[in-house]
């Protein structure tokens, strides 16, 4: 048996001792076979997100379709923030009972079959949240920005914007002196939200350009990109003063070059704030030299489903179908948002994920995102820990690779987000997925982005976000290598 403490929070000390006692008791009472005991790995996590997809104990069973292969590994994840020592043995027994079962346990209602995390229904809920953001905000009594850690988006920090404007103007002046400045200065923000950051940036840029007497503002074209036309329309009033400098582009964040092929090698700055951490992702486990992909199945605990069924007149036998219908059609089956939104909010809070581990060679489809394959992954992992779980940041990586062709040779990509910058960090913390209101939140594998960028001919470096105390945000910069 292997026991891993994945954090240094002192509150875990009692949980560690309680776990050892519970495991010994389970073996003594015949609840855990000695052969099963030998292949278990217990991982104690401190999950900083109060809303997340984990039960107190989650058993992640290795899975294979091959009859000639013995049962593979099993990981037991324990959330030391939630755990109650007196209940730990019962929680462990319950998790072991349902791990890897092809049938849903009696105490839960599955919303899908096991599948790649990237294709899980939880990401359909994520899309649903952004489509119905106004309804959620009205019911919650606060805007999305207010729900963020610190009560606002770091991308809207006035000092951060002012410093960025000054650095950008320095770059433009240098290019002008070298006779390399293009006639049109193109900028792109992906995921504009309310348009507030774009408006602040343009205000600052116009003022600083006027003070310097450089005359760059009339040459500027600011492309505002978002997947939703409704979002873009909401952002228009924020930039009303600069409307002649703005273009509004409906785009999929996963493939920016598709929406703007005419700007290939022409964009001086691309900016994103908290976009990558909200894109579909995969998790991978590396164990004994082998790679296992984490497959998930979303479910609702039966007790929560029964409560919602009674309160919102959703027959328990139809619960699964009614949830899918809500995602597809909205709140009509509830008579509108007044009852539909509370059901959605309570459902999201109750939802959990069960997991299984599938060896890479057993997967029926190639699971790597564009820009990465198994051989390149092995090269990147040469200096990484031999036994750890990490994010593949699948769609963030695809977005990253498909954004680089937009950059002017002197341009740069700037991303405000929460990054893991060294693979070894995954051994000392839990980095998602967590729940933030109705959306998902994953830290981004910045170490992987850096390695992929290097192979594409770009350099990546990270700056701490110095504008807010104790923030987890950092700033990724990508520039073409000389």
Q: What CATH number is given to the structural domain containing 208?
A: 3.40.50.150
Residue 135 lies in a domain: no
The string over 273-301, giving b where at least 16 C-beta atoms fall within 10 Å of a residue's C-beta and e elsewhere, is: bbbbbbbbbbbbbbbeeebbbbbbbbbbb
pLDDT score of 294:
93
Are 3 and 69 in the same domain? yes
Residue 288 lies in a domain: no
Are 61 and 203 in the same domain? no
Q: Where is the domain boundary, 103, 134, 162?
A: 103
| Closest alpha carbon to 59 in 432, 356, 302 | 356
Decide which of 22 and 370 is more confident.
22
* In the predicted structure, residue 386 carries a pLDDT above the cut 80: yes
Is the torsion defined by CA of 311, 317, 318, 324 positive or negative?
positive
Are 1 and 89 in the same domain? yes
As a residue count, the chain comes to 482
Residue 289 lies in a domain: no
Tell me how far apart the alpha carbons of residues 6 and 80 are, in angstroms, rounded to a whole number: 10
Report strand pairing: 220-226 vs 185-190. parallel
- CA-CA distances (angstroms) from residue 362 to 65, 292, 356, 359? 7, 9, 13, 5
* In the predicted structure, residue 8 carries a pLDDT above the cut 80: no
Instruction: Kindly report which listed range (71-75, 298-302, 344-348, 375-379) carries the lowest average pLDDT score.
Output: 71-75
pTM of the model: 0.91
- Look up the domain containing 465 and give its range: 146-280+377-480
Count H helices, E strands: the chain? 16, 21
Are 8 and 89 in the same domain? yes
Tell me how far apart the alpha carbons of residues 296 and 315 are, in angstroms, rounded to a whole number: 25
Q: For tokens 């770059």, what's the residue? A: 171
| Closest alpha carbon to 413 in 275, 278, 271 | 271
Tokens of 321: 């179908």
The stretch 59-88 carries a mean pLDDT of 79
pLDDT score of 274:
92
Burial class for 456, CB neighbours closer than 10 Å (0-12, 13-18, 19+): middle
Instruction: Kindly report which listed range (19-33, 198-212, 327-341) carries the lowest average pLDDT score.
Output: 19-33
Residue 109 lies in a domain: no
Instruction: Kindly report which listed range (122-126, 283-287, 306-310) carries the lowest average pLDDT score.
Output: 283-287
Are 267 and 199 in the same domain? yes
pLDDT score of 202:
98
The string of pLDDT tens digits covering residues 257-287 is 999 999 999 999 999 999 999 999 999 999 8
Q: For tokens 């649903």, what's the residue? A: 128
Radius of gyration of the chain (CA): 24
* In the predicted structure, residue 339 carries a pLDDT above the cut 90: yes
Residue 474 lies in a domain: yes
* In the predicted structure, residue 424 carries a pLDDT above the cut 80: yes
Are 395 and 471 in the same domain? yes
* In the predicted structure, residue 149 carries a pLDDT above the cut 70: no
Q: If DSSP codes are grouped into helix, strand and coil, which group holds residue 364?
A: coil
Give ∠ CA 140-275-343 in degrees, rounded to 5.
30
Tell me how far apart the alpha carbons of residues 247 and 257 are, in angstroms, rounded to a whole number: 15
Are 255 and 157 in the same domain? yes
Residue 59 lies in a domain: yes
- CA-CA distances (angstroms) from residue 159 to 32, 170, 467? 57, 17, 7
Is the torsion defined by CA of 116, 387, 6, 152 positive or negative?
negative
The stretch 178-200 carries a mean pLDDT of 95
Q: Where is the domain boundary, 47, 76, 103?
A: 103
The string of pLDDT tens digits covering residues 82-120 is 888 889 999 998 888 877 565 567 789 999 999 999 999
Tell me how far apart the alpha carbons of residues 68 and 194 are, in angstroms, rounded to a whole number: 56
Are 83 and 2 in the same domain? yes
Residue 178 binned pLDDT confidence (cut-offs 50, 70, 90): very high
Residue 291 lies in a domain: no
pLDDT score of 150:
60
pLDDT score of 447:
94
Instruction: Kindly report which listed range (15-19, 309-313, 391-395) carries the lowest average pLDDT score.
Output: 15-19
Instruction: Kindly report which listed range (150-164, 347-361, 384-398, 438-452) carries the lowest average pLDDT score.
Output: 150-164
Cβ–Cβ < 8 Å for 146, 193: no
Are 157 and 274 in the same domain? yes
The string of pLDDT tens digits covering residues 222-263 is 999 998 787 888 899 999 999 999 999 999 999 999 999 999
Cα torsion through 441, 443, 446, 448, rounded to 10: -90
Are 166 and 265 in the same domain? yes
Cβ–Cβ < 8 Å for 281, 394: yes
Are 439 and 384 in the same domain? yes
Into how many domains does the chain fold? Answer: 2
Percent of the chain topping pLDDT 90: 61
Residue 355 lies in a domain: no
- CA-CA distances (angstroms) from residue 420 to 3, 379, 380? 23, 19, 15
Average pLDDT, whole number, for the chain? 90
Q: Where is the domain boundary, 103, 131, 155?
A: 103
Are 152 and 23 in the same domain? no
pLDDT score of 107:
86
Within 8 A by CB and 6+ apart from 230, the residues are 131
Tokens of 288: 């004994």
The stretch 417-436 carries a mean pLDDT of 92
- CA-CA distances (angstroms) from residue 453 to 194, 265, 339? 30, 16, 47
């Amino acid at each position: 048996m292997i026991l891993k403490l994945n954090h240094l929070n002192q509150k875990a000390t009692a949980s560690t001792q309680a776990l050892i006692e519970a495991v010994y008791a389970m073996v003594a009472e015949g609840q855990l076979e000695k052969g099963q005991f030998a292949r278990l790995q217990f991982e104690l996590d401190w999950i900083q997100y109060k809303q997340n997809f984990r039960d107190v104990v989650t058993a992640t069973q290795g899975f294979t379709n091959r009859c000639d292969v013995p049962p593979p590994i099993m990981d037991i994840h324990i959330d030391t923030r939630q755990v109650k020592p007196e209940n730990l043995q019962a929680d462990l027994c319950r998790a072991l009972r349902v791990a890897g079962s092809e049938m849903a346990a009696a105490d839960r209602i599955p919303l899908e079959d096991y599948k790649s995390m990237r294709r899980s229904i939880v990401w359909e809920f994520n899309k649903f949240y952004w489509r119905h953001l106004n309804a959620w905000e009205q019911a919650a009594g606060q805007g999305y920005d207010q729900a963020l850690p610190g009560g606002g988006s770091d991308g809207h920090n006035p000092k951060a914007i002012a410093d960025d404007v000054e650095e950008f103007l320095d770059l433009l002046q240098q290019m002008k002196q070298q006779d390399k400045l293009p006639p049109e200065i193109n900028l792109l923000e992906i995921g504009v939200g309310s348009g507030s950051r774009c408006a602040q940036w343009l205000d600052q840029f116009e003022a600083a350009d006027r003070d310097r007497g450089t005359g760059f503002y009339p040459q500027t074209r600011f492309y505002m990109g978002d997947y939703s036309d409704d979002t873009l329309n909401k952002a228009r009033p924020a930039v009303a003063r600069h409307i002649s400098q703005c273009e509004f582009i409906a785009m999929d964040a996963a493939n920016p070059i598709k929406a703007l092929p005419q700007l290939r090698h022409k964009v001086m700055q691309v900016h994103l704030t908290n976009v990558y951490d909200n894109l579909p992702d995969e998790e991978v486990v590396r164990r004994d030299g082998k790679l296992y992909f984490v497959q998930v199945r979303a479910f609702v605990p039966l007790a929560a489903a029964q409560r919602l069924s009674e309160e919102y007149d959703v027959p328990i036998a139809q619960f699964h179908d009614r949830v899918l219908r809500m995602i597809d059609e909205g709140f009509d089956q509830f008579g509108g948002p007044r009852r539909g939104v509370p059901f959605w909010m309570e459902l999201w809070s109750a939802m959990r994920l069960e997991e299984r581990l599938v060896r890479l060679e057993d997967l029926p489809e190639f699971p790597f995102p564009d820009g990465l394959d198994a051989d390149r992954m092995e090269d990147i992992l040469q200096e990484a820990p031999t036994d750890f779980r990490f994010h593949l940041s699948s769609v963030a990586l695809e977005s990253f690779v498909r954004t680089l062709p937009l950059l002017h040779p002197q341009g740069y990509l700037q991303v405000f987000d929460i990054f893991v910058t060294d693979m070894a960090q995954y051994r000392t913390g839990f980095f998602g997925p967590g729940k933030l209101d109705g959306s998902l939140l994953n830290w981004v594998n910045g170490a992987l982005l850096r390695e992929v960028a290097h192979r594409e001919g770009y350099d990546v470096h990270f700056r701490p976000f110095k504008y807010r105390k104790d923030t987890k945000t950092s700033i990724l910069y990508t520039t073409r290598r000389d």
